[in-house]
Amino acid sequence: MIWLTWRQFRAQTVAAASLLALLAIAFAVTGPQLAHLYDTTVATCHTQHDCPIAINAFQSEDSFLQSLVRLVMLAAPALIGIFWGAPLIAHELEAGTQRLAWTQSVTRLRWLAVKLGLAGLASMAAAGLLSLMVTWWSGPFDRIGAGRMDPSIFSERGIVPVGYAAFAFALGVTAGLLIRRTVPAMAVTLAVFAAVVSGFALRVRFHLLPPVRLVSALNMSWVTQTGIGGPAGPNSLLVSITPNVPGAWISSSQVTTAAGSTSLGPPPPTCGANSTYSACTAAIGRMHLRQVIIYQPGSRFWALQWYETAIYLALALALAGFCVWWVRRRVS
Amino acid sequence: MTAVLEAHGLGRRYRRRWALSDCTLKIPAGQVVGLVGPNGAGKTTLLHLAVGLLQPTAGTIEVLGDRPAASPAQLARVGFVAQDTPTYSGLTVADHLRLGAHLNPGWDARTASDRIERLGLDPRQRAGKLSGGQRAQLALTLALAKKPGLLILDEPVASLDPLARREFLQSLMEAVVDQGLSVVLSSHLVADLERACDYLIVLIDSRVQISGEVDHLLGTHHLLTGPRRDPARLPEGQQVISASHTDRQTTLTVRSEGPIHDPAWVVSKIGLEDLVLAYMSRTVGAERRPALEVQR
């Protein structure tokens, strides 16, 4: 059964392995240079006080490879679901070859277990290897700003791609089993996978761990905008901030009064049309405003990665269990 | 006489339609059994139940003394060639033999390679490039080389041209003699089965109409021709299977254990095809009658 699974899966495995090898070569060639460039420009920019320029210059390095990496990481789990998962059983049902396979001296439970097990593990291994390479190569980029905690970066680093691959694969197999035709099963796999993964990233991930709520005196160096037209009305004071919490994923930041109200009242008199910006900010600084920041600190990266991966692996296992039940009871 | 296949009240329903119902059947060992019936009669359903591809909705079925596909050992004892003889189109002939060797503990590699050689199949050829006849032969080779006690074939020759059809049946019969197999073979064409089978099951409208050894069936069915008369007035023990009338003449297909002595009839031997057709026309008639009553 292992031989048959390998024989049927050979072409896909070879294709995936060659793509991974190509990417590995590209990374091996450019990776050390990137790390060196980071160490000599961005890491030491504080001494020369030109960090924004250094960061900008660094971020435009290898921009083609960077966009390719984004694309590959975004597409890889979906491709695994579409090209490895969906045809796994649908192709047999479509060609009627399950009637050949299930009448050899191997129970269909074993047939399914070996196929699901081997191809599923291959999916996870491929995604894990890819993510390992990408996480290493992108290391210098991920040390800037929110870095790897940024929602779109988070799902392309560490171990969550393994969870995505397992889920996409099991989803593809299930769709193929229920729809019994390869191409519609591929389409359904893509649609459901994209919906689940984006819904999870937008709605669920931030709440996997209770976020940190930081309340403190307003840090004037984080203020990026002052004016009128705040939440209390057209003539109320507006102060917005961009908190600088390195490596954190910040979901909201608010400025409140000392009492905790979001309506800051009228602007101080020195913020009139004829006053200077520095006089105005100094006056705001004397108002004893507070800031409320809700965020996930960067130190929780791995905890969040483990939680998310575990959830996707559990989903994949549930789908695999459903496939086993369905193949034993319902399919002929 | 041991049974290779025994079914009691066997039925299978797809949503609301019964594809096979109330099938009670005992197929003796050592026979080549023909399962004949029109398209959609439930032949494939019965055979799929027998190899465990389907689970029964009602009743029980035992094949070689065990529930179909109950264990790898049970699977190993039953060979199956499915309708349209499916093979993996991307795999070569040699790959198929390796598949058989890996998936069947009782695999006879010599039988398999000898057959492939005798058939003149190129082992490096992909199965998708084979002709229908070659593909059927490859599927039969797979089923034979696992050394089953019972071989089940579902319409193996339906899509073959007459020459390939004859060659396939011939090589099947040679293998049956060599390996001492029991065989169940379905077809919607009696002519395919006539030469090959020594036991016949007629399945029409999801029910078994009659089953028995071909010689016995031919010996107990008679074609009667005589002046026109009411078929209901036949003596006890003579069952009319089908009747057709012209203005002056009546032709009956009659089932009777004893000989027919009535001098009014000209009694002639019946062929297998006429016998099956008589049963088919009987069920068609039974369907029509209520429809006529509705129209009145």
> Quick one: B116 and B255 in the same domain?
no
Name the burial class of residue B202, with classes exposed (0-12), middle (13-18) and buried (19+) by CB atoms within 10 angstroms of its CB.
buried
Q: Which residues of A touch B99 (CB under 8 A)?
A: 3-4, 7, 104
Q: Which residues of B touch A105 (CB under 8 A)?
A: 72-73, 75-76, 103-106, 146
What distance in Å separates the CA atoms of residue A41 and residue A50, rounded to the nearest whole number? 10
Looking up residue B156, the CATH number of its domain turns out to be 3.40.50.300
pLDDT digits (tens, 9 = 90+) for B40-51: 888 999 999 999
> Quick one: B223 and B185 in the same domain?
no
What distance in Å separates the CA atoms of residue A283 and residue A220, rounded to the nearest whole number? 11
Task: Return the pLDDT at B296.
Answer: 35
In angstroms, the separation between the Cα of residue A99 and the nearest Cα of chain B is: 6
| Element holding A295 (H helix, E strand) | strand A290-296
Residue range A305-313: average pLDDT? 97
> One-letter amino acid identity for B250?
T
Please check whether residue B173 lies inside any domain of the structure.
yes
Task: Return the pLDDT at B283.
Answer: 62
Residue range B98-112: average pLDDT? 93
Residue range A272-286: average pLDDT? 79
Please check whether residue B209 lies inside any domain of the structure.
no
Residue range B139-149: average pLDDT? 93
> Quick one: B225 and B153 in the same domain?
no
Query: Would the CA dihedral through B177, B181, B182, B186 be positive or negative?
Result: negative
> Quick one: B178 and B277 in the same domain?
no
Task: Return the pLDDT at B263.
Answer: 82
Residue range A76-86: average pLDDT? 96
Q: Of chain B residues 104-133, which have a CB less than 8 A from chain A?
A: 104-106
**CB-closest option in B53, B80, B83 to A332:** B53
> Quick one: B134 and B223 in the same domain?
no
Look at residue B294 and tell me whether its pLDDT is greater than 50.
no
E-strand spans in A47-179? none
Task: Return the pLDDT at B1.
Answer: 54
Contact of B153 with chain A, judged by CB distance below 8 Å, is answered with no
Please check whether residue B226 lies inside any domain of the structure.
yes
Q: What is the mean pLDDT of chain B?
A: 87
Please check whether residue B212 lies inside any domain of the structure.
no
SS3 content of chain A, % helix, strand, coil (to 5): 65, 10, 25
> Quick one: B193 and B287 in the same domain?
no
**CB-closest option in B69, B75, B86 to A97:** B86
Q: Which residues of A touch B73 (CB under 8 A)?
A: 105
> Quick one: B195 and B246 in the same domain?
no
CB-based contacts of A25, cutoff 8 Å, min separation 6: none
Look at residue A331 and tell me whether its pLDDT is greater than 70.
no
Q: Which residues of A touch B98 (CB under 8 A)?
A: 3, 7
Contact of B95 with chain A, judged by CB distance below 8 Å, is answered with yes
Residue A332: pLDDT band (50, 70, 90) is low
> What's CA A326's distance to the chain center, in Å?
32
Per the structure, the count of domains in chain B is: 2
Determine, for residues B69 and A96 on separate chains, whether the beta-carbon distance falls below 8 Å.
no
Contact of B67 with chain A, judged by CB distance below 8 Å, is answered with no
Look at residue A251 and tell me whether its pLDDT is greater than 70.
yes
Determine, for residues B98 and A3 on separate chains, whether the beta-carbon distance falls below 8 Å.
yes
Residue A267: pLDDT band (50, 70, 90) is confident
Please check whether residue B12 lies inside any domain of the structure.
yes
> Quick one: B200 and B223 in the same domain?
no
Please check whether residue B213 lies inside any domain of the structure.
no
Q: What percent of chain B has pLDDT over 70?
A: 95
pLDDT digits (tens, 9 = 90+) for B209-223: 888 999 899 889 988
pLDDT digits (tens, 9 = 90+) for B221-252: 988 888 887 777 777 778 888 888 888 888 88
| Element holding B246 (H helix, E strand) | none
Q: What percent of chain A has pLDDT over 90?
A: 59
> Quick one: B69 and B197 in the same domain?
yes
**CB-closest option in B48, B88, B90 to A332:** B48
Contact of B12 with chain A, judged by CB distance below 8 Å, is answered with no
Determine, for residues A107 and B69 on separate chains, whether the beta-carbon distance falls below 8 Å.
yes
CB-based contacts of B56, cutoff 8 Å, min separation 6: B10, B11, B12, B49
Determine, for residues A106 and B72 on separate chains, whether the beta-carbon distance falls below 8 Å.
yes
Q: Which residue of A has its CA nearest to B70?
A: A107
> Quick one: B24 and B58 in the same domain?
yes
Look at residue B292 and tell me whether its pLDDT is greater than 70.
no
Residue range B86-90: average pLDDT? 93
Which domain range does residue B227 map to? 219-295
Q: What is the mean pLDDT of chain A?
A: 90
Task: Return the pLDDT at B135.
Answer: 93
Residue A93: pLDDT band (50, 70, 90) is very high
In angstroms, the separation between the Cα of residue B54 and the nearest Cα of chain A is: 5
Complete DSSP assignment for A185-231: HHHHHHHHHHHHHHHIIIIIGGGSSPPEEEEEE--GGGEEEEEE--T
By a Cβ cutoff of 8 Å, what residues of chain A touch chain B? 1-4, 7-8, 95-97, 99-108, 110, 329, 332
DSSP state of A267: P
Look at residue B112 and tell me whether its pLDDT is greater than 60.
yes
> Quick one: B47 and B162 in the same domain?
yes
Of A45 and B44, the structure prediction assigns the larger pLDDT to B44
> Quick one: B176 and B91 in the same domain?
yes
Determine, for residues A103 and B82 on separate chains, whether the beta-carbon distance falls below 8 Å.
yes
